[in-house]
Amino acid sequence: MLKKKKLQMYITIFLLALLTYTMISPLSVVAANVSKNVFDKNQQIAIDFLDNSTTQKKLAEICDAIWSYAELGLEEYNTSNLLINYLEKEGFEVEKGVAKMPTAFVATYSNGDGPTIGVLGELDALPALSQEAGSTEHSPVTEVNGASAPGHGCTHNTMCTAAAGTVVAVKNAMDEGGFTGTIKMFASPAEETVISRPFMVYSGLFDDVDVVIDNHGGGSFGASYGVSSNTEWSFSVTFYGQTAHSAGSPWLGKSALDAVEIMNMNTEFLREHLHYTSRMHYVILEGGEAPNVVPDRATTWYYVRNSDELIKSDFEKVLNCAKAAALATDTKMEITPYTAIHQCYRNEGVANILQNNILKVGMPEWTGDEQKFAKELQKSIGASEVSLYDNSRLEDKPRGPSPVFVGGGSSDIGEVSLVVPLSTLNFPSSVPGAIGHHWSTSATTGTTIAHKGLIAGAKVMAASAIELMTDEDKLAGIKDEFKEMQEEYFYNYKNDGEKLILDENGNAQFESYLPYLFDRSGEYKYDPDSSKFFIPEGKPVVPPLGFLAEQMAKYRPEMSKYYKTPKWYDGPPIITE
């Protein structure tokens, strides 16, 4: 009996000790309702600004308006004008139409000497993803002839809004806190077609920037570093043939559509012999007007992706597939270049700062209705019904690169990451399991989930930007890490022949891909005497303005009926046609 009582006493003492330890021991994840003393004075000014109900209402209105505009790449006129109007009202100087892109801009606020921190914000939507906000079934807002209009199925409406909120919050901290420096927002059109950042880098827009903070919405809250993502080269191939009566005299025709189909078949057989890190996709943009007329013009649009090491080789192989198709059909071919980007080289020091501030900010507090919507959406698309994440899903450290690179998606932030230290914040403006480039993401990015997530993301970015501007030692460490990266991956984006790292063939390892692709574009002609295709004269290195204008114009008049432009907006007239 005595032994039993002693055992019970020992158990009680152990449990009390364990309870006391858990109460005083630091938790690995900080709760969403953190105490204000976790941030320094300057950071707290920015946090308070973003916690203000007036600020949150305005940012929600911007987010929803951009969600309703859903403008395709290089057509983001309403989106750009709304953000510019907001930032100018907040005291920013805005340089518009940078890098020869009308919808790109750089908003700057400076109050003296100090570091320059940039924040990226992506503007464009995706085709065919129109969707009712908050609906758990596929329900487009706008359709034209049965085809869905564009929609924000990659969270860009939350990203550019979070970026704008971030830089304004930092400006408030600079004014009230008394520290000096420069904060910039780089509004980046056409990310889905990876166009803006290579041209922005090529134009030298990041030359005076110390660190850049990138951001992307999703279902989680975290940061990342290391080499990741594929390169991507985007171009179209147009074949020119000769019309004829398809039944009466087809032998007189030269089918451009046949050439497109043969090229696509060639690349399908090529897939087997490309490295497993490669990705390749295409769509046929035009293939003729009527079956009874042999098509004299047809176009196919390609994305070719791989590692920086293999991308040039893959491109040349795809180019050979096009040449073979032209030769087989006796047609002419023309390459129209769009863009070419590198892989991403994210900085670990920046990622550590972002992750540390994620743990201070914590996940948003979700309502029961928001959790219910998330589960119903997850069930609808066959995803795990985990609802919205809470702080238990936060990681102590940022995510590093995969031990084995297997290829995948691409982002043109890779260009920026090679010229200035950069890392990416992923913030919770969508539902876990929602499918990227799919209506399930569009359904979320127009809801209060998106509003709460972008505020959380803006808090982390603002706190991190202020930390970078006020902590000289951390900034110096980040720059040292970046210099080490440059010893292996020096990016000579100006192609000026200086500091080049040469590959085994004596060619520059890292230089802008734009001149390489654009020099190999234009019309190719076949010389039967030498059995060779002539290299074309090339095309000037400029953004492909208007290449999605016709597609956007098809939907805009119907979409404009549902625009949610804020009442306070007093900028240029909203485009509705």
Provide the token pair at 393: 């899903």
Total domains, the chain: 2
> Is 311 a domain residue?
yes
Same domain, 99 and 41: yes
Same domain, 47 and 171: yes
In a domain, 144, yes or no: yes
User: What DSSP string describes 464-483?
Assistant: HHHHHHH-HHHHHHHHHHHH
Segments in the chain below pLDDT 70: 1-37, 494-509
**Taking Cα atoms as reference points, which of 69, 74, 122 lies closest to residue 99?**
74
pLDDT value of residue 504: 60
* Whether residue 367 sits in one domain with residue 222: yes
Which pair of structure tokens corresponds to residue 58?
A: 């305005």
- Let me know if residue 482 belongs to a domain: yes
The pLDDT of residue 23 is 35
Q: What is the CATH number of the domain that holds 524?
A: 3.30.70.360
183: tokens are 């904060």
Residue 412 shares a structural domain with residue 474: yes
Q: What single DSSP character describes residue 147?
A: E
Within a domain: 392: yes
Please, what sign has the CA dihedral across residues 20, 24, 27, 33?
positive
Q: Which residues make Cβ contacts (< 8 Å) with residue 284, sequence separation at least 6?
A: 260, 264, 298, 299, 300, 301
**Residues 318 and 357 grouped into a single domain:** no
CB 395 within 8 A of CB 152: no
CA–CA separation, 97 and 189 (whole Å): 11
pLDDT value at position 499?
Answer: 60
Are 185 and 291 members of one domain?
no
Per-residue b or e along 123-145, where b marks 16 or more CB atoms closer than 10 Å to that residue's CB:
bbbbbbbbbbbbbbebebbbeee
Instruction: Assess whether 214 and 332 both reside in one domain.
Output: no
Asked if 430 and 439 touch (Cβ cutoff 8 Å), the reply is: no
Residue 476: which residues within 8 A CB-CB, separation 6 or more?
none
Q: Where are the beta strands (DSSP E) in 178-253?
A: 182-188, 211-218, 222-224, 226-228, 232-240
Q: Is residue 172 part of a domain?
A: yes
Does residue 501 belong to any structural domain of this protein?
A: no
The set of long-range contacts for 369-377, using a CB threshold of 8 Å and a minimum separation of 24, is: 370/447, 370/448, 370/449, 373/134, 373/136, 373/431, 373/447, 373/449, 374/431, 374/432, 374/449, 376/136, 377/136, 377/431, 377/433, 377/434, 377/440, 377/443, 377/444
State phi, psi for 312 to the nearest 5 degrees. Answer: -65, -40
Residues 275 and 404 in one domain: no
- In a shared domain, residues 156 and 259: no
Q: What is the largest CA-CA distance in the chain?
A: 109
Can you give the residue range of the structural domain that contains 170?
Answer: 36-229+344-488+556-562
47 lies in the same domain as 155: yes
Q: 523 in helix, strand or coil?
A: strand
Contact between 549 and 543 under an 8 Å Cβ cutoff? The reply is no
169: in domain: yes
3-state secondary structure of 184: strand
Q: Is residue 208 part of a domain?
A: yes
Same-domain check for residues 475 and 464: yes
Residues 170, 78, 167, CA angle at the centre, nearest 5°? 5
Q: What is the CATH number of the domain that holds 484?
A: 3.40.630.10
Do both 305 and 350 map to the same domain?
Answer: no
**169 Cβ neighbours under 8 A, 6+ residues apart:** 46, 47, 49, 50, 55, 458, 459, 462
